[in-house]
Every structure is written in structure tokens, then in C-alpha cells.
């Protein structure tokens, strides 16, 4: 029940975070602006969301996570309602930047609460359920928004999304008070007192873990590059390579979201049954993405199959969701003993958006300079290769840290 409660919260977060991006084309036509004019609105949210992850992660280990999660939901609802009244790009940018900070207040406390209340043998299972919330919200928005736009404005739809947030927040407030009581699996140790000076009862994080964390951070950056880079540019790739219409972007995005639900389940099973070192498991998943990226390069170099290309890209993105599950959802739990679950969760999750920012502009420039997607596809192979290597290198040190 706790896992499903967090799934609902994460679902509401995505509904109130990506709704504007889903309807961007309609917003452009309604306000008579170009995509580049409104891109700053989405960029503002991405930047504040990434920076906010680090801040929220640190604060989340200092205060009760339930408070932070409630504040994040409330602020996100306010921002979505405020967006209804915005009439110019500047005000929209400001509101959506605050919205990014609001959503940054949700993931770190979710991970911390999961690590507090969910037993070790069920933690990855619960993390999969929470991750489903984002996929379900993506599917719902991309299928539902085009239908709703035929009967209401995009502003009204954002107001509906705020209404979803209100309902979920009400469920959260009622359910959390009953489910999240003091009978925790991990209880915060009392501060020790020595010569009248209080010191934290949490042990210090061993210094040798810094090196594997650096490699994990690199792996997460590469994961962010591939996950968001492939997802964002898949419609353009299909349009320029195979001549598919822009409307196919909706179908392509839905396919990726559906596939991600399946991939979460598969990679959770791989982790629990076969490779129980999450960092090594992340490396193995990167390896699967590497094989898929190489196959995609060969298919587009020597043949012209849109179906094979779409399936291989779906596999790559699905693999990146698996890496995300291992390195961002499961790795932070190992810092519960040190009282740093929220801090590590926020820090690691922010690295995804560093990779996403690099890929969003970098892949486009590369495709334009090389006048085609062949070079970009080859770079995808290299990124997956390096991602595999950094995880494999970090795995032995991470195993030592977990044993300790």
C-alpha cells in the first residue's frame, strides 16, 4: 500500500510537470509564437528541477520527508493553477521555473520514505511500482491531451491537471497519516552526547566509496543522455530518415512509455534473481543497450526498416529506464545507515538532467553538422560502451561498500 501510494504521488508529479511540454505545439499556435520562443519555459523547469534535486536531497535528510513531499505537491498545484492565468512568456517561464523546484521536492523524500518503510527484499519491487507512475502519466497525457484539446483550451487542461494534483494530495494526506507511522524498519538513531556536545549517531561515510560514486555519477549522466536524448529526438529521426509525419511523435512516445513499464519489471527481475549488485546490474543493462545501439546503426546503415528502428530505439530507452532504476532508485538506499538517503537520491537524480541537457542540444547539433543521423547513431554506441565500462569498473568497490 505504501508503494502504491508513492506511485500515485509520482503519477501526479508527472501529470503536473510534463503537461505543458505535451501540448507545446498547441500553445505555440494559440499564442502565435515559435517553438524556440516557448522552449525557454520548458528549459527553466528542467534547470530548476535539476538544481532543486540537490537542494531538496540535502534538506530531505534534515527534516521529516512527509512535510517536504506535501509542500512539493501543494506548490506544484499552485503553479499549475497560476499557469492558467499567465499571458506572456516571461510570466510563464517564472511560474514553470518554480514548478520545477516544486517537483524537485518529491523524489528525494519518496526514496527516503521507501528506504525507511519498505523491507530490503521488497525495495526494488516497490521502486518499480513507483516508477510506473511516470510511465502511466506519460501514456495518459499523450493519448488524452489531443482528445481534450478538441473540446477545451490548453489552459483548461492544465487546470484539470491541477485538479488531479488536488485529489492526489488529499489521498496522500489521509493515507500517509495512517500508513506512515512510527513503526519504521529504520529508525533515526538518537544523537550521542559527549562532554555535553551532541554528535550525530550516524557513522561517517567511508572515503573509499567516493571513487565508485564518481563512476556511478558518470553512468547516470550517460543514462540521462541516452534516455532523454533518444526520446526527444526519436520523432525527428523518424521524420528525416523515413518521412513519417510529426503526428507519429505521439505514437512513438506512447510506445516508449508502454515499453518502459515492461522494462522496469524485467530489469527488477534481473536484479533480484541474477545480478544482485545494482551497479553491476546497471552495467549489464548498459551492455544490452550497447548491443541494441550497434544493431540500430547497422540497420540504418545497410537497410531501411522503420519498424526495426522504432523497436531498437524502444529497447535502448527501456534499458536506460533500467539503469535509472538501479543507479538512482536502488543505490541511495545503501546510504540509509549513514542518514544520507535523501541527499544521495537528490544528487544522483540531478545528474540525469545534466546528461539530458547535453544530449538535447548536442545530438541536434551533431545531426545538423553531419547532415544525417549516422554519426549520431555511432555516438550512441560510444555512450553505451562507456556507460557499460564505468559501471563494471565501479561494481567491485560498490560490492565492498554494500558488504560493509
Q: What is the percent of the chain where pLDDT is above 90?
A: 42
Stated pTM of the model: 0.83
pLDDT in tens, 301-321: 888 788 888 899 999 999 999
pLDDT band of 190, cuts 50, 70, 90 = very low
**Per-residue pLDDT for 198 more than 60?**
no
Of 65, 80, 91, give the one whose Cα is nearest residue 14.
80
Longest dimension (CA), the chain: 75
pLDDT in tens, 231-284: 877 777 877 778 776 566 667 778 888 888 888 889 989 998 899 899 999 999
What is the reported pLDDT for 246?
58
Of 393, 71, 24, 346, give the one whose Cα is nearest residue 215.
393
What is the reported pLDDT for 250?
67
How high does pLDDT run on average in the chain? 86
**Per-residue pLDDT for 220 more than 80?**
yes
**Per-residue pLDDT for 187 more than 50?**
no
Q: In the predicted model, what is the mean pLDDT of residues 3-22?
A: 92
In angstroms, the Cα distances linking 102 to 62, 313, 359 are 18, 31, 24
Spatial separation of the C-alpha atoms in residues 325 and 331, rounded to whole Å: 9
Give SS3 for 61: coil
Amino acid at each position: 500500500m505504501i508503494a502504491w501510494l508513492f506511485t500515485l504521488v509520482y503519477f501526479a508529479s508527472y501529470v503536473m510537470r510534463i503537461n505543458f511540454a505535451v501540448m507545446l505545439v498547441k500553445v505555440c499556435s494559440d499564442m502565435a509564437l515559435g517553438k524556440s520562443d516557448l522552449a525557454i519555459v520548458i528549459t527553466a523547469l528542467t534547470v530548476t528541477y535539476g538544481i532543486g534535486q540537490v537542494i531538496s536531497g540535502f534538506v530531505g535528510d534534515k527534516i521529516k520527508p512527509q512535510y517536504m513531499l506535501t509542500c512539493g505537491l501543494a506548490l506544484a498545484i499552485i503553479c499549475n493553477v497560476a499557469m492558467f492565468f499567465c499571458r506572456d512568456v516571461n510570466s510563464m517561464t517564472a511560474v514553470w521555473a518554480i514548478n520545477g523546484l516544486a517537483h524537485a521536492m518529491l523524489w528525494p523524500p519518496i526514496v527516503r520514505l521507501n528506504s525507511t518503510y519498505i523491507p530490503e527484499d521488497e525495495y526494488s519491487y516497490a521502486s518499480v511500482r513507483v516508477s510506473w507512475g511516470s510511465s502511466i502519466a506519460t501514456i495518459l497525457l499523450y493519448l488524452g491531451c489531443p482528445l481534450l484539446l478538441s473540446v477545451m483550451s490548453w489552459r483548461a487542461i492544465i487546470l484539470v491537471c491541477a485538479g488531479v494534483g488536488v485529489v492526489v494530495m488529499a489521498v496522500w494526506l489521509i493515507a500517509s497519516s495512517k500508513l506512515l507511522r512510527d513503526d519504521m524498519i529504520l529508525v533515526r538513531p538518537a544523537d550521542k552526547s559527549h562532554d555535553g556536545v551532541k554528535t550525530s549517531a550516524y557513522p561517517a561515510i567511508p572515503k573509499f566509496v567516493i571513487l565508485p560514486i564518481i563512476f556511478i555519477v558518470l553512468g547516470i549522466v550517460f543514462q540521462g543522455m541516452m534516455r532523454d536524448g533518444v526520446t526527444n529526438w526519436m520523432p525527428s529521426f523518424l521524420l528525416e530518415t523515413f518521412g513519417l509525419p510529426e503526428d507519429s511523435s505521439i505514437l512513438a512516445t506512447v510506445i516508449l512509455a508502454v515499453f518502459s513499464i515492461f522494462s522496469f519489471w524485467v530489469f527488477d527481475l534481473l536484479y533480484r534473481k541474477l545480478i544482485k549488485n545494482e551497479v553491476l546490474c546497471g552495467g549489464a543493462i548498459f551492455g544490452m543497450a550497447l548491443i541494441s545501439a550497434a544493431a540500430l546503426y547497422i540497420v540504418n546503415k545497410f537497410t531501411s526498416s522503420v519498424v526495426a528502428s522504432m523497436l531498437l530505439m524502444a529497447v535502448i530507452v527501456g534499458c536506460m529506464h533500467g539503469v535509472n532504476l538501479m543507479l538512482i532508485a536502488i543505490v541511495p538506499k545503501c546510504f540509509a545507515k549513514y542518514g544520507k538517503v535523501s541527499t544521495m537520491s537528490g544528487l544522483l537524480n540531478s545528474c540525469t538532467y545534466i546528461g539530458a541537457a547535453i544530449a538535447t542540444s548536442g545530438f541536434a547539433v551533431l545531426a545538423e553538422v553531419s547532415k544525417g543521423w549516422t554519426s549520431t547513431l555511432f555516438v550512441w554506441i560510444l555512450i553505451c560502451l562507456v556507460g557499460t565500462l564505468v559501471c563494471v569498473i565501479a561494481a567491485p568497490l560498490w560490492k565492498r561498500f554494500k558488504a560493509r
